[in-house]
Each structure stands twice: as structure tokens, then as C-alpha cells.
Amino acid sequence: MQNFHRSFATPSHMVDKGEQS
């Protein structure tokens, strides 16, 4: 599951939005 989350949150903008949201 961690691998999937890491791959999904690859982009910086996506990570910021997903992590902050």
C-alpha cells in the first residue's frame, strides 16, 4: 500500500495538495 501511495504522490503539487488536504 505504501508503494501505491508513493507512486500516486510522485508530483510535488499533487503531494502538497494530497498531504495538506
Can you give the pLDDT at residue 2? 60
Can you give the pLDDT at residue 14? 62
Helices (H), 1-21: 2-8, 12-20
Q: pTM of the entire structure?
A: 0.11
Can you give the pLDDT at residue 13? 60
List, for residues 1-21, the tens digit of each pLDDT value: 566 556 665 666 665 665 655
Can you give the pLDDT at residue 10? 65
The three three-digit cell numbers of residue 21, written as one number: 488536504
